[in-house]
Chain A
């Protein structure tokens, strides 16, 4: 069983606990104290695109190992706590690969068990960074329609294929790669997962820079030969694990988006209160006040969505996950675009941090989509529930 059904949630879980709030505060201080926006620019535009020293500090603070079990060298914390860290780092536009490594990668390895678990203590220490390479060109991924193929040849696996725009692949030491087992017909029964070191012969990663100043990887695998130890999961577990990873990624996007949206709201509120035109402060104009409130409402909704996504991914609740995904796709770009409009010409300046926040919000929303597909998944989840308990019109 790969889903955490043993976790029970209640209405009280819709708000963070006091401990979680304190954690969020300390992450916010960490972000504020570390570097200014020009420093951030220098880091993300330089090599390797994130700050090695900061990554080690995060590990020393226990964040990389926060949700790794104690037997595996971690702290045995909950996803909810880890997401508080993600929210705080999101606020600071952090590019360190914490989500790929700690929210997705470490969890997949732990779920799979087996020999690969031996790497978890090093992940907790910050010595190893992970990335999930699932998505492929033309919308393949989520364990569906995979063109990457794994062949079993006399006890050794041969991997060939191309993974597409893999987040953090250029920062990773090991990739978790989804592939279809050659010869298996049924889609959902074909997906297996492998652990592939980036330095392995036959693996080639081309770095692509995105508009939100991140590094993505085009991962080309030709004749990658792996031993049995590299096999993480066989069908049908592979597809279920990918679904789990995608749900956790959604929860992480929701947390990061919330952190960013709060910062954008504050920037905008401060700007409107300080800027004078026509002899008075902009915050005195009712039309601008109301647009600021629209932004505030979006942030409050994102607060709800973030908790919803966290709970939904622990419970594998497809309906809640779907609703959260839909709202993220709608709200995140709205927050960024609204803030730019409220900043007027100042908002258009590339030097000002707002633009970088806005671009990241857009990038997250694109990574949650496409909206049509998401809506159709949500409709399917809802109609499955409606059939069990029909609502009265």
Chain B
């Protein structure tokens, strides 16, 4: 990739790197070194710091307080954050609800919410999935009835809601009409998490941590002013911006770090008195994935360049997410293999730093990431769903 960056883009990256190295709190470095996950407070603090420096919303237009950067620069920025051990920016406000408010929200909503997303005064979660509406999202049933008093009354149950326990706001798809085609009765609501009748319950994932939740709505009252756009258009709004999301969830920087970690581990891990790094068979398998990743990144740049040339790529960009998650999972599996039985000792991060035995510090996080990352081929459009979308909309079969 290096050779394709212009002098200006390299200079841009140097500025970003310089900012990160000067401003990054020491605590981040320490956590990264010990492989301790960042806390919600870390995420909010960092978002505030980025915003104060003018980097709060890389993808947003300048009029909305964003950086107005090209997709390439957004990518470089995200990569620098991750490679230099900073929290990544939360996508829920910046990449998901923000652009929807920008495109379809009222002036009052834009004035109120957009600055608060950038400054981390609001922390958002996404209320889409339900037990009976996962991949088949259009069958969602959580209902919202508009009363004469100008309030919606929401009843129902959302599930797999990431960071609901940390967020103060939820953007939700709710059913306001049961009569027509199911996609047309869905409305987009902004719901404060402290509204009476709203309950959040943890749903621990395979890694044993609390990342996702169940959210129950029991006569939750939401003012009509919190509806984005028109009633019944929620499905259209939420789909309008899906493609952008899929361009950037190929998880390339994270996979680069995984490769670096495999190599470090291979150099220090011994099998029968010989370093794993000397095992040509193992290292060739690493190389195969490294080549995959190299081509994936070039593919992403190729789509970005099409976008910049004014030829927006179509639903085929979903293949970046398909391949990116496959490669990430395969790398996790190699890390697991490199660790061998040393991966067996385990304690989830939620149990505290000290719950995991120091003696196995070299392997901290490997199993945790492996287990949680199985979700990557399921969330944000399961691989099979994305393939069906490509089959129908790109190949026309």
Contacts and interface: CB of A to CB of B under 8 A. Distances in A.
Interface of A: 9-15, 269, 272-273, 283-284, 286, 289-290, 292-294, 296-297, 300-301, 303-305, 307-308, 311, 315, 317, 319-320, 322-324, 326-327, 330, 372, 375-376, 378-379, 382, 386, 391-393
B83 to A, nearest CB: 6
Nearest to B300: A304
Contacts of B291: 322-323, 326-327, 378
A322 B83 CA distance: 24
Contact of B260 (A324, A375, A392): A392
B179 interface: no
Nearest to A18: B309
A14 B301 contact: yes
Nearest to A266: B395
Contacts of A317: 3
A311 B299 contact: no
Given A13-B305, A273-B397, A293-B390, 11 more contacts: A14-B298, A269-B397, A289-B395, A289-B397, A290-B387, A293-B391, A303-B302, A304-B295, A304-B299, A376-B287, A378-B291
B305 A326 contact: no
Contact of B4 (A11, A289, A372): A11
Given A15-B306, A305-B295, A382-B287, A392 B4 contact: no
Contact of B388 (A286, A311, A315, A319): A286
Chain B's interface: helix, strand, loop or mixed, by majority?
Answer: helix
Contacts of A379: 283-284, 287
A9 B2 CA distance: 10
B295 A12 contact: no
B388 A392 contact: no
A392 B384 CA distance: 33
Contacts of B257: 391-393
B287 A311 contact: no
B321 to A, nearest CB: 11
A322 B294 CA distance: 10
* Nearest 4 A/B pairs, CB to CB: A283-B397, A289-B391, A391-B260, A323-B294
Given A327-B295, A391-B256, A392-B84, A269 B302 contact: no
14 contacts: A10-B6, A15-B305, A15-B306, A272-B397, A289-B388, A289-B397, A290-B388, A294-B387, A297-B323, A304-B302, A379-B283, A392-B83, A393-B257, A393-B260
Counting chain A CB atoms within 10 Å of each CB, the highest count among B72, B322, B397 belongs to: B397
B319 interface: yes
Contacts of A9: 3-4
B162 to A, nearest CB: 26
B301 A375 contact: no
B331 to A, nearest CB: 12
